Structure 1
Amino acid sequence: MPVAGQRTQRVAIAGLGPIGLKVMQALDRGIDGLTLTAVAVGNPDRPRPELDRLSRRPQVLPVAELESVADIVVECAPAAILRSIVEPFVARGKMAVVLSAGALLTNWDLVEIAKKNGGQIAVPTGALIGLDAVTAAAEGVIASVRMVTRKPVKGLLGAPYVVANKIDLEALTEATKIFEGTARDGAKGFPANVNVAAALALAGIGPDRTTLEIWADPKLDRNTHRIEVEADSASFSMAIANVPSENPKTGRITALSVIALLRKLNAPLRMGT
Structure 2
Amino acid sequence: MKVGIAGMGAVGLSVAKALDRGTLQGLEFAGFCASSDSRGAELNKALTTPVPIYGMDSIADHCDIVVECLPPARFADIADPVIEAGKTLVVLSASQLLGRADLIERAKETGARIIVPSGAMLGIDALKAVAVGELKSVTIKTSKPVAGLLNAPYLAKVDVDLTKIKEPYRLMAGSVSEIAKEFPANVNVAAALSLAGLGPERTKMEIWADPSLSHNLHTVGVTSDSSDFTVSIQNRPSDENPATGRITAQSVIALFQQMTSNLIVGT
Task: Classify the TM-score, shorter chain.
Answer: over 0.9
CA distance in 2, matches of 1:134, 1:105: 19
Which residue of structure 1 lines up, in the alignment, with residue 254 of structure 2? 260
Trace 1:115-134 onto structure 2 (pairs within 5 A). 115-134=108-127
SS in 1 for 2:38: coil
CA distance in 1, matches of 2:58, 2:254: 26
Which whole-Å deviations, capped at 9, do the CAs of 1:33-87 have from their partners, x for residues lacking one?
A: 1111111123433375442131211112221121111111000001112122122
Q: Does 1:271 align with 2:235?
A: no
Moved over 4 A (4+): none
Paired letter, 1:261: L
Normalised by the size of structure 2, how large is the TM-score?
A: 0.95
Which residue of structure 2 lines up, in the alignment, with residue 26 of structure 1? 18
CA distance in 2, matches of 1:62, 1:91: 15
CA distance in 2, matches of 1:97, 1:149: 23
SS in 2 for 1:61: coil
CA distance in 2, matches of 1:173, 1:144: 32
1:133 Cα deviation from its structure 2 partner: 0.6
CA distance in 1, matches of 2:244, 2:177: 19
CA distance in 2, matches of 1:14, 1:132: 27
Query: Percent same amino acid at aligned positions?
Result: 46
CA distance in 1, matches of 2:257, 2:76: 25
Paired letter, 1:180: A
Which residue of structure 1 lines up, in the alignment, with residue 245 of structure 2? 251
Higher mean Cα deviation, 244-253 or 51-60? 244-253
Normalised by the size of structure 1, how large is the TM-score?
A: 0.93
Which residue of structure 1 lines up, in the alignment, with residue 147 of structure 2? 154
Q: Structure 1 unaligned segments of length 5 or more: list them.
A: 1-8
- From the superposition, tell whether residues 161 and 151 of structure 1 become closer, same or farther in structure 2 (CA, over 3 Å): same
Give the CA RMSD over aligned residues. 1.5
CA distance in 2, matches of 1:53, 1:248: 20
Higher mean Cα deviation, 250-259 or 85-94? 85-94
Paired letter, 1:29: R
Q: Does 1:139 align with 2:137?
A: no
Q: Does 1:112 align with 2:109?
A: no
1:166 Cα deviation from its structure 2 partner: 5.2
Q: Structure 2 unaligned segments of length 5 or more: list them.
A: none
1:10 Cα deviation from its structure 2 partner: 0.9
SS in 1 for 2:25: coil
CA distance in 1, matches of 2:67, 2:16: 10
CA distance in 2, matches of 1:165, 1:104: 27
- From the superposition, tell whether residues 201 and 138 of structure 1 become closer, same or farther in structure 2 (CA, over 3 Å): same
Contact 2:40–2:53 under 8 Å retained in 1: no
Q: Does 1:223 align with 2:194?
A: no
CA distance in 1, matches of 2:134, 2:193: 15
CA distance in 2, matches of 1:262, 1:224: 26
Which residue of structure 1 lines up, in the alignment, with residue 180 of structure 2? 187
1:143 Cα deviation from its structure 2 partner: 0.8
1:211 to 204, 216, 221: 204
